[in-house]
């Protein structure tokens, strides 16, 4: 079996891209030859260093389609032909994708050929929300190649996809996301982290981890906690990067930073940007706040529970499924007051209750270890190539 994981990029990692790379690494460890293909060119900043890192981590080959970022529609045609040629030359059996443009290209490139395409569904798709030209083209492509199979990251995402695309339910399955073992092995270093960030030892830390934009509720968290940080001896840390391609994200961050200056909150609210030591930071914090408005899964929730960090989040889309069996606090989205009350409740639990919450969270996190996800993919590949799925 030979697998090609086709992704938009591997040098600026979002959740889906990170999962794709982790899958490629683990499959190669199991002696399943798995290469990576990027939509873009080798000349983009950061690509060469990221490519060398992946080769050192055991990825046999990394290819590039050479497309521009935000490619025009007509550029998909030569990309389809180039991928089709690569599939034939290298003899790939499986093409895996986890975002829309690679999925469109792969759907057409695998038409009438030997290789099978598996399209990952990493978000909730709804027609009133995802209806741009590339979403319409994707739905059209799906109808033209009925050999494509789909995996969704939660059952909720799975059900939403069948409604969105009119794809028969028998063509989809659910494979939950997974986290690496370093989240479970995080060693609490409260004093070290506070010393590094120049935060007093007696202060408590609220963490947000993820993309900085309005859909993730970053502004709601800010509105909820900014007025009470100093009276309650709290610090609020935002860990993650701004995506300038997301409408309204830059304006949101600009407004938040202006308010921080105006109200003198610069010492209480920090933007840490991209970090490679998130499990370490989580193990040193006091609560994870994830007030998102849309969420197919929520990897950061599992990472937090594995690291021993209690969670306050919203009861939207796939989150209740992911947190099933835990005592994590879930509230309605878009309500700063309710969010504030929930965070304070999590921070002020009695010791016995706090211990029980952490134990249930860690037990649930065990369901999302990387080995289980890779096992599910290997079984899926076998079922597809044997014609059972």
Whether residue 209 sits in one domain with residue 164: no
**Torsion 27-32-36-37 (CA) sign:** negative
The confidence score (pLDDT) of residue 333 equals 96
* 192-219 residues labelled b (16+ CB within 10 A) or e (exposed): ebbeeeebeeeebbbbbbbbbbbbbbbb
Whether the per-residue pLDDT at 174 is higher than 90: the answer is: yes
Average pLDDT value for the chain: 92
For residues 215 and 370, what is the distance between their CA atoms, to the nearest angstrom?
27
- Domain of 23, in residue numbers: 2-178+370-385
Say which CATH number the domain at 200 has. 3.40.50.2000
Whether residue 303 sits in one domain with residue 169: no
Whether residue 168 sits in one domain with residue 189: no
The confidence score (pLDDT) of residue 229 equals 95
Token pair listed for 22: 């982790």
The confidence score (pLDDT) of residue 267 equals 87
Burial of 245 (0-12, 13-18, 19+ CB in 10 A): exposed
Whether residue 206 sits in one domain with residue 97: no
Whether residue 82 sits in one domain with residue 51: yes
**Tokens 């001896």 -> residue:** 233
Whether residue 342 sits in one domain with residue 203: yes
Give the pLDDT mean for 145-160. 95
Task: For residue 379, give the DSSP letter.
Answer: H
User: Which residues of 42-148 form beta strands (DSSP E)?
Assistant: 62-64, 94-97, 116-121
Whether residue 245 sits in one domain with residue 97: no
pLDDT level of residue 13 (50, 70, 90 thresholds): low
Whether residue 239 sits in one domain with residue 156: no
- Look up the pTM and report it: 0.90
Pick from 66-70, 95-99, 113-117, 158-162: least confident: 66-70
Whether residue 220 sits in one domain with residue 356: yes
Whether residue 260 sits in one domain with residue 190: yes
Which tens digit of pLDDT belongs to each residue from 195-218? Answer: 999 999 999 999 999 999 999 999
Pick from 71-75, 228-232, 248-252, 294-298: least confident: 71-75
Pick from 131-145, 157-171, 198-212, 230-244: least confident: 131-145
Whether residue 166 sits in one domain with residue 83: yes
Question: What percent of the chain clears pLDDT 90, i.e. is strictly above it?
Answer: 75
**Tokens 């010492």 -> residue:** 267
Among candidates 114, 92, 174, 106, which has minimal Cα distance to 141? 106
Whether residue 316 sits in one domain with residue 224: yes
For residues 343 and 142, what is the distance between their CA atoms, to the nearest angstrom?
43
Total domains, the chain: 2
């Amino acid at each position: 079996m030979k697998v090609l994981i086709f992704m938009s990029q591997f040098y600026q990692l979002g959740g889906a891209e990170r999962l794709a790379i982790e899958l490629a690494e683990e499959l190669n460890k199991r002696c399943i030859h798995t290469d990576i293909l990027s939509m873009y060119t080798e000349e983009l900043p950061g690509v060469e260093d990221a490519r060398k890192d992946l080769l050192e981590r055991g990825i046999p080959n990394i290819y590039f389609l050479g497309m521009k970022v935000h490619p025009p529609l007509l550029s998909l045609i030569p990309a389809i032909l180039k991928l089709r040629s690569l599939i034939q030359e290298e003899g790939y059996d499986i093409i895996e994708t986890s975002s829309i443009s690679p999925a469109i290209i792969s759907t057409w490139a695998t038409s009438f050929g030997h290789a099978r395409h598996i399209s990952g569904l990493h978000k909730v798709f709804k027609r009133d929300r995802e209806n741009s030209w590339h979403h319409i083209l994707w739905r059209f492509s799906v109808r033209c190649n009925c050999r494509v199979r789909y995996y969704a990251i939660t059952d909720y995402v799975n059900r939403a996809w069948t409604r969105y695309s009119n794809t028969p339910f028998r063509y989809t399955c659910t494979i939950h996301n997974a986290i690496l073992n370093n989240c479970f092995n995080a060693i609490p270093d409260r004093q070290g982290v506070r010393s590094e960030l120049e935060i007093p030892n007696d202060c408590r830390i609220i963490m947000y981890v993820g993309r900085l934009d309005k859909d993730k509720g970053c502004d709601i968290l800010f509105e909820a906690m900014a007025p009470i940080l100093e009276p309650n001896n709290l610090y609020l840390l935002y860990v993650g990067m701004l995506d300038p391609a997301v409408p309204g994200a830059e304006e949101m961050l600009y407004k938040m930073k202006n308010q921080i200056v105006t109200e003198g909150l610069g010492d209480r609210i920090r933007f840490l940007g991209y970090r490679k030591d998130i499990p370490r930071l989580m193990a040193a914090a006091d609560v994870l706040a994830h007030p998102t408005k849309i969420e197919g899964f929520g990897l950061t929730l599992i990472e937090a529970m594995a690291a021993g960090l209690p969670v306050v989040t919203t009861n939207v889309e796939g989150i209740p499924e992911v947190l099933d069996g835990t005592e994590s606090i879930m509230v309605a989205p878009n309500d700063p007051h309710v969010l504030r009350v929930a965070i304070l409740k999590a921070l002020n639990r009695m010791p016995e209750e706090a211990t029980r919450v952490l134990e249930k969270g860690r037990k649930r996190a065990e369901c999302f270890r990387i080995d289980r996800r890779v096992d599910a993919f290997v079984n899926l590949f076998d079922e597809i190539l044997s014609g059972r799925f």
